[in-house]
Amino acid sequence: MSDARQRMVARAAAEITPGMVVNLGIGLPTKVVNHLDADFPVCLHTENGLSGIGPTLSPEQADRNLIDAGGAYVSTLPGSAFFDSAVSFALVRSGRLDLTMLGAFEVSQAGDLANWKIPGKFSPGAGGGIELAQKARRVVVLTTQTDRAGNPKLKAECTLPITARGCVARIFTDMAVIDVTPEGFALCERAEGVAAAEIAEATGAPLALPAGDIPTF
Amino acid sequence: MSDARQRMVARAAAEITPGMVVNLGIGLPTKVVNHLDADFPVCLHTENGLSGIGPTLSPEQADRNLIDAGGAYVSTLPGSAFFDSAVSFALVRSGRLDLTMLGAFEVSQAGDLANWKIPGKFSPGAGGGIELAQKARRVVVLTTQTDRAGNPKLKAECTLPITARGCVARIFTDMAVIDVTPEGFALCERAEGVAAAEIAEATGAPLALPAGDIPTF
Amino acid sequence: MKLPDKTTTLEAAVARIPHGATVMLGGFGVPGTPFTLIQELLRQGQRGLTLIKNDANETGMGVDHLLAAGQVARLITTHIGLNAHAIELMNSGRIDVEFCAQGILAERIRAGGAGLGAILTDIAAETELAAHKQRVEIDGKSLVVETALRADVALIHANSTDPFGNLDYVATARNFNPLMAMAAERVIVEAERLLPFGTLAADDVHTPGPFVDHVVELGALSEEYAIVRR
Amino acid sequence: MKLPDKTTTLEAAVARIPHGATVMLGGFGVPGTPFTLIQELLRQGQRGLTLIKNDANETGMGVDHLLAAGQVARLITTHIGLNAHAIELMNSGRIDVEFCAQGILAERIRAGGAGLGAILTDIAAETELAAHKQRVEIDGKSLVVETALRADVALIHANSTDPFGNLDYVATARNFNPLMAMAAERVIVEAERLLPFGTLAADDVHTPGPFVDHVVELGALSEEYAIVRR
């Protein structure tokens, strides 16, 4: 993982406050767990049926029956609980999930999220992503600021099929922390060594800048 | 319990065949359990959350947390399971209950059952009775042939609020075993010493008689 | 990471219930009824409550105390036949009672806990219970819309809890408790024992901790929990 | 009274599945997938099947054997991203795939198991997944009708069973198994161990025996059940 991504993940970890129930989506968000201290009070949820995820295990240490929704071998903590898939999403839909961190193909300035389908290229199904995006009390996105071709992933409108509308509150990228406000994207923080103008350039919609100094991470 | 009722209950017990899942309603039906042998393979269900009801216990032997839906202290068998009220009725509604035996205020010749409300006199709520009557694969009724005033409980039409329509397959009374057929009530068996004419007299709708001898119980 | 601690006192937990709240209460008869939480609610005296409970216990027990104290405006239930006092209050119009088929009450609560809007069912479709309910045609069949129920507060009786609120129930004291423990904005649990973290096997938890807000350990159980001799 | 015995052989159990059957299969990835029942279904060769399963396992594992053998006409699922072969069959039109949001698939199956007709939800209402689904207005809100799913047969992987079919599951091998074990006309269970009556505590049963039709005890587990090294 590049240094910029590492810092993005470390910064995103600070989004988690004590006592929260949190679901970390597949991919980059999963790495956030490495930035949580052993005595930090938090409950990590995975939609295949576990609250209280413990550290990831190597194949040598793994329990063949204990994975997270991304297929990684994980462990339990004192106070973990297993449940079926209906209960797992009941928790999500009924407002018991305080925060989810998801990946994205595109985020619109209205907070619409597209992260499950690229017609003609990638259509494996949405899995549990729609319910996480639509029902977590707070949805934040971890993504690179641009795609591999250098095109902005933050856009005026999503062009890909929507996962959920108006759901994204905040975006952590390798360049910046950006909030979705009623007026659109607003820059909160910039990565060390990245100028606000570069971030605005790499954003596909207007980006409001804060008055005064922009904190760095 | 009168001798006639005892025989009715014993006769009803023969309705239970090996391997069935059975719910015995509150009142007379509960007594059927006394006629099932220790090695008879059957699973008794109670809607407050137990499959595999064992013998009834006295207050001295009772577990304060283990009752049936009628409030009697019961026990478990090797192979019993506890579950919540949603699972308990899922079992009923999804066709896993082979047989229920219920009490009745009235049964119509179309098999309609009224057993939960007497407007102005008795309206404690239907409890789980509607789902048992509507969804058990086979519904049989245990009742006296007439009410305390001597009026037939088997009628052309129910006059009381309905529990479920067309649900009753067979009725066990202190006088007879009567089937509900597409043509209406049909006498199957008579209690020892009771003439068919007496039964027809105590039935509030036409009663078809079998050709030949009428078996007794 | 470690799991958060939700233990609190009886008084502080029940003080979170406002006047006019909708309150779900576990229990089917005596087993699973949160008698201690009910006694504290009686002591604190919140009024204008809507209660959702399978039954009304018996006269002089459990929720009947709240009925007698005039704290209850409305009751959503399945059967109150063991409480003549509740029937009298209903018949005289002093409380408003809504009856539901028992399994449908369970499903409406579960639907609330599962974040669904409603369920569609044929149960009671031909009875007066569904006479005024919305219908929807599905595959040519007219089904009754039974809307999801949620509450401001659920009062739950558990056998064991850990500090995070992972719960288990015993025997037929389970009944409506795990359903209600998913279906309220604030879930308050009384438990017969508070176990240290890690004592409850993760496979044997009946209600996962994320659904629970406050846990209170019971001391010696009052007479109301005991065997009823009739 | 004693509880009935439902133990049978692998061959006899799977022989109850007809051609053209709708078959639910437990599992989320490897944990909880009934690999042995699937192998026997492959051997017996029933065709024209509709499968309902969270995922399509990985290429060369589990249900992928049935896809490769041409036994499957249709798949109702949530995510098949780990099985490139399944995606290829879908894209070339050789199987028909219906995608559901994962928790909604769980609820549709549960609704089938609970004898309900449908659930009403706002999940995916703004997405193409719900574009052609019936809507119902409840309290001014337009909700999606998600119909209940039932199957002819459910294939379940359990940790333990007793002869009556009381089941428990372990860790994340639970997933869809207890839901599917309620939602089929014929429920067939493979269990890692068959326990004598009374060994499973009545409070710790995850699927009560009345839902189950046939139980088969597994011998030594095949390689498919093992840790996947990527």
Yes or no, beta carbons of C116 and D121 under 8 Å apart? yes
Yes or no, beta carbons of B80 and D162 under 8 Å apart? no
Give rounded-to-5 percent helix, strand, coil for chain A: 20, 30, 50
Structure tokens, C5: 């601690």
Residue-wise pLDDT tens for chain C (230 aa)? 999 999 999 999 999 999 999 999 999 999 999 999 999 999 999 999 999 999 999 999 999 999 999 999 999 999 999 999 999 999 999 999 999 999 999 999 999 999 999 999 999 999 999 999 999 999 999 999 999 999 999 999 999 999 999 999 999 999 999 999 999 999 999 999 999 999 999 999 999 999 999 999 999 999 999 998 87
Distance from CA of C228 to the nearest CA of B (A): 8
Which residues of chain B have a CB within 8 Å of the CB of C80?
124-125
B47 is catalytic: yes
Query: Measured between CB atoms, which of D1, D115, D203 is closest to B94?
Result: D115
Structure tokens, A88: 């797992």
d(CA D33, CA D158): 9
Yes or no, beta carbons of D136 and C145 under 8 Å apart? yes
Inspect the structure and tell me whether chains B and A have 3 or more CB pairs less than 8 Å apart. no
Predicted local distance difference test score (pLDDT) of residue A27: 87
Question: With contact defined as beta carbons under 8 Å apart, do B90 and B97 qualify?
Answer: no
Yes or no, beta carbons of B91 and D211 under 8 Å apart? yes
Strands A168-172 and B99-102: unpaired
DSSP, residue by residue, A55-106: ----TTT--TT-B-TTS-B-EEEEEEEE--HHHHHHHHHTT---EEEE--SE
d(CA C45, CA C38): 10
Per residue in D132-188, pLDDT (tens digit) is 999 999 999 999 999 999 999 999 999 999 999 999 999 999 999 999 999 999 999
Residue D222 DSSP code: P
Predicted local distance difference test score (pLDDT) of residue D14: 98
Predicted local distance difference test score (pLDDT) of residue A1: 72
Nearest to C160 by CA among C204, C191, C129: C191
The list of chain A residues with pLDDT below 70 reads none
For residue D226, give the chain A residue with the closest CA.
A64
Which residues of chain D have a CB within 8 Å of the CB of A48?
28-29, 31, 172, 175
Residues with Cβ within 8 Å of residue B122, at least 6 apart in sequence: none
Predicted local distance difference test score (pLDDT) of residue B140: 98
Q: Which residues of chain D from 148 to 207 reach within 8 Å of chain B, CB to CB?
A: 162-164, 166, 182-183, 185, 196-198, 200, 202-203, 205
Distance from CA of A2 to the nearest CA of D (A): 22
User: Does B1 score more than 80 pLDDT?
Assistant: no
Probe site for chain D from A84, A91, A96, A135 (most D CB atoms < 10 A): A84
